[in-house]
Amino acid sequence: MKRVEFLKQFVRYPTLTCAIAESCTELADLITDTAELSQASMVVEFGSGTGVFTEKILEKISGNTQAFSLEINEDFVKETRRRCPEAIVYFDSAVNVAPYLKEAGVEKCDRIISGLPWASFPEKIQDKILDTVADILEPGGKFLTFAYVHGLCLPAGRRFRKNLFSRFQRVLATRIIWQNLPPAFVYCAEK
Ligand SMILES: C[S@@+](CC[C@H](N)C(=O)[O-])C[C@H]1O[C@@H](n2cnc3c(N)ncnc32)[C@H](O)[C@@H]1O
């Protein structure tokens, strides 16, 4: 998707998109490498956008690992499918993930990779999606999500961080990818 098209999505759905450009390759590599995908059996992606993480997920999982993505913006669903024709992408919200796991023949997953804009979500939605994450993740499973550095100055960004540390046994934050627009890092939370 051209940068101007991405910007149009931001103008149409600012709080859902919450970014003026797709994540850069370095951030996509960082989040998918930190997830140690070669050891995963079921990978769920939330908020695929243009498919920048999806592409890396499919590259890094092993042959018998299952993966699918949920995206709430139909134009982004189409763009992820165009970029990654082999990807399974559902046009639905992250909160509705359970039936898609059932369809894949499982109740839980061992990796969740999120591109969701946590710092722009109201408290209720943030809590609801984090409850969903905790519900569908196996013990020992990993939840990976990125955060913009400037989000740490926003009340919702700080609330998300606090929520993450209170719900998960172990939370690590990676180095910052300064070349991302805007600069971002990854949280890796283990259940
Ligand atoms: C900041 S963009 C990130 C997109 C992509 N992962 C990337 O890094 O470039 C956030 C994405 O999350 C999607 N999104 C927002 N709320 C969602 C929800 N409840 N369920 C699924 N996707 C959602 C938006 O439509 C958008 O594509």
DSSP one-letter string for 55-81: HHHHHHS-TT-EEEEEES-HHHHHHHH
pLDDT of residue 151: 87
Burial group, residue 127, by CB count within 10 angstroms (0-12, 13-18, 19+): middle
More confident residue, 150 or 178: 178
Read off the pLDDT of each residue in 44-69 and give the average, rounded to a whole number.
97
Question: In testing the pocket of ligand 1, which one of 26, 46, 126 has its CB within 8 Å of the most ligand atoms?
Answer: 46
Read off the pLDDT of each residue in 40-58 and give the average, rounded to a whole number.
98
pLDDT category of residue 17 using cuts at 50, 70 and 90: low
pLDDT of residue 111: 98
> Measured in angstroms, how far is the CA atom of residue 117 from the centroid of ligand 1?
6
pLDDT category of residue 6 using cuts at 50, 70 and 90: confident
Ligand 1, atom 14, lies closest to the CA of 47
> Measured in angstroms, how far is the CA atom of residue 69 from the centroid of ligand 1?
10
pLDDT category of residue 7 using cuts at 50, 70 and 90: confident
pLDDT of residue 12: 74
Peptide bond into 183 cis (omega under 30): no
pLDDT of residue 13: 75
Angle (CA) 153-142-117 rounded to 5° is: 35
Cβ(117) to ligand 1 under 6 A?
Answer: yes
More confident residue, 18 or 23: 23
Tens digit of pLDDT for each residue in 57-88?
999 999 999 999 999 999 999 999 999 999 99
Contacts with 78 (C-beta within 8 Å, 6 or more apart), sequence order: none
Question: In order of start, what are the domains of the chain with their CATH numbers?
Answer: 24-190 (3.40.50.150)
- Sole residue written with tokens 């956008």: 49
Angle (CA) 69-19-118 rounded to 5° is: 65
More confident residue, 112 or 120: 112
Residue 53 has which token pair?
Answer: 């993480």
pLDDT of residue 169: 85
pLDDT at 10 over 80: no
pLDDT at 120 over 90: no
